Amino acid sequence: MSTAIVYCGLSDGFVIGSDSLVLNYQTGAIQTDKERKIFAFENPSISGIFAWSGTTIAIGSGGRGVLISLIRETYKILAVINFQDFANDFNARLNDRISILEVNRTRDIARGIFLYYWMGIQIECRITIFANGRTWESKIDFFGPPTGKVVIMCGGDPDEFDDPHSLGFGKNIIEAYIQASIDDPKYKCIGGKPQIGKLTTEGFSWLTVDPYLSFTTEI
């Protein structure tokens, strides 16, 4: 997985962090080390954030030549989704879109995390996209309330953390872990700088992020 994503959910909100390195999906070369990877979404009944790791942009095969960006497709789905049945509705819509990407092998392709408040209730949802030997397909890995633990969705070596007692403590743990993954030369697909944000009932805000971070795929 070509990124580091770590998060935790506490009673007063979520903290999430990632690195800022992006590799070219065709060549594997460094495309930028200043990429934004954490995104917010809101409507009258929901406030949330999401992030994807792995192959997030691909071109459809079989002569179709359609460019698929998981971030752009996520925003399109979030604009029309039924949040009362988030897991099933999002998964069905995403499967319909990514099924045009034809493959001839099986492997994990990408992982997504969605952290949000729906009608005041905290929820986290993890999604995996995989190649099933014919096309891309997605599945819901987890859907429920936050656990209060620091979760490494993808990154460097697994680590054991103290349970954070505050969003500030969670931010420090996550930032230190991501920086250690960036500094470790064996993780060439993790780099740039840590970007950390939080989501509370008041909405999303950055805790540490470089002002020059960009987003290379239009939404």
* Angstrom distance (rounded) from CA 48 to CA 125: 11
Indicate the residue type of 105.
R
- The per-residue pLDDT of the chain, averaged, comes to 86
* Angstrom distance (rounded) from CA 152 to CA 149: 10
Q: Are 89 and 95 in contact (CB under 8 A)?
A: no
* Angstrom distance (rounded) from CA 185 to CA 189: 10
The full set of domains in the chain, from first to last, is 5-208 (3.60.20.10)
pLDDT bracket for residue 77 (50, 70, 90): very high
Q: What is the pTM of this model?
A: 0.89
pLDDT at 216: 41
